[in-house]
Amino acid sequence: MGINVNILDGEKIISLQTGSNTPAGILSLAGIPLSANDKIQFHGADLPADFVLPPGGNYTLQIRRAHLLTLITPDGQSSIQTTAPNIGQALAQTGLQLYTSDSITPPLETPVTSNLTVFYRPAKDLTVSTKDGTIAVKSSQQTVGKALASAGLALFGLDKSMPAESEPLPSDGQIKIVRVKETVALIEKAIPFPKSYIYSLDQSAGEQKVVQAGETGLTISRVRTRYEDGTKVAQITEAETVVRQPIESIISLSTQAQIQTLDTPDGQIQYWRAVQMYTTSYSPCGSGTPKCSYGTASGLPVKHGVVALVPSLYNQLVGSRVYIPGYGVAVIGDVGGGFPDGRLWIDLGFSDEDYQNWSGMHTVYFLAPAPASIPSGLN
């Protein structure tokens, strides 16, 4: 008893009745050649060429022709003969373990046709470190930046990675992300106004007049601060602009002295100025010079009760008297160098036998009578 067979070979359909009961015999009778890699399928399952078909049946046999597929990977190029219907199944038949993050071109669902070239790049295992911890990802991208973006870890703005985002994936799979933020602030800073004095004979003793009121100036600085992973790493001032110049304060002072009275432990004194001055002390052999010096600029001996001032004040006040609490009354009879910063200064004289060390700010009272013209440094 024969069998009825429909043969599907691509777009060709061949129907015949035959006494042969094996696929190989049926195809031979139909004049249909098979290559070593072609497949015969019955109801979607591969059927051996020598399978014996039961007699008296109606059968539909489908021939799946093998196609040559060229596979290009990072390791090189290979050729595959496959009857798989699409690229995904063809690659699976080779034993490749595929992941969704692998790069496959054309896509897996593309039908297999003759002379098809497939580019396959497997995903690499990567460990991405951030300030919050580490994240394991797989990526088939070829640069660090694209790998991070595909993993949802894209760099934004000033963010940086190590290796840099334009570099290829590192061989050890280690990538570090540093989140970078910069802030810009405008900082205001006051400019102190300068002070100057003029002197008038027409004003009463001790009277002060504001000729011109001082006004502070203003600068605005543009300050950029850089943070990496939330930690401040740098701060620079990019520009500083003066938006308001300071206005000088001008004060008119009287050159006349105003005599005042003060009760002290050493008795009552009358003075025309009381000034805070930096006070030091010296003696004949303790004046800071290699040799002992017993004389002064005025000819008086160095002893208790003789004090020294800087030249500008000494020249105007030599012979005048002062009172220093704890030291007593003294005459201005010597000259000294003072301090480079120009602070008001007085040096208290002692003999070597009664020397006391003085250092620091003290009030100095300039005793009456007042000079005809008050030195500008004491106004």
Query: Is 82 strand, coil or helix?
Result: strand
Q: How confident is the model at residue 371 (pLDDT cuts 50, 70, 90)?
A: confident
Question: What DSSP designation does 201 have?
Answer: S
Fold of 67-121: Ubiquitin-like (UB roll) (3.10.20)
pLDDT at 53 over 80: yes
Strand-pair category, 39-42 with 58-64: antiparallel
Fold of 260-378: Barwin-like endoglucanases (2.40.40)
Q: Return the closest-CA partner of residue 379 out of 273, 276, 307, 260.
A: 273
Asked if the 183-254 domain carries CATH number 1.10.1200.10, the reply is no
| Mean pLDDT of the 183-198 span | 92
- Least reliable range by pLDDT among 54-63, 187-196, 222-231, 276-285: 54-63
In CATH, the number for domain 3-64 is: 3.10.20.90
- Counting Cβ atoms within 10 Å, is residue 298 exposed (0-12), middle (13-18) or buried (19+)? middle
205-224 per-residue burial string, b: 16 or more CB within 10 A, e: under 16: eeeeeeeeebeeeeeeeeee
CB 198 within 8 A of CB 253: yes
Its pTM stands at: 0.50
| Mean pLDDT of the 360-374 span | 90
Q: Residue 168 has what pLDDT?
A: 95
pLDDT at 103 over 80: yes
Q: How confident is the model at residue 288 (pLDDT cuts 50, 70, 90)?
A: confident
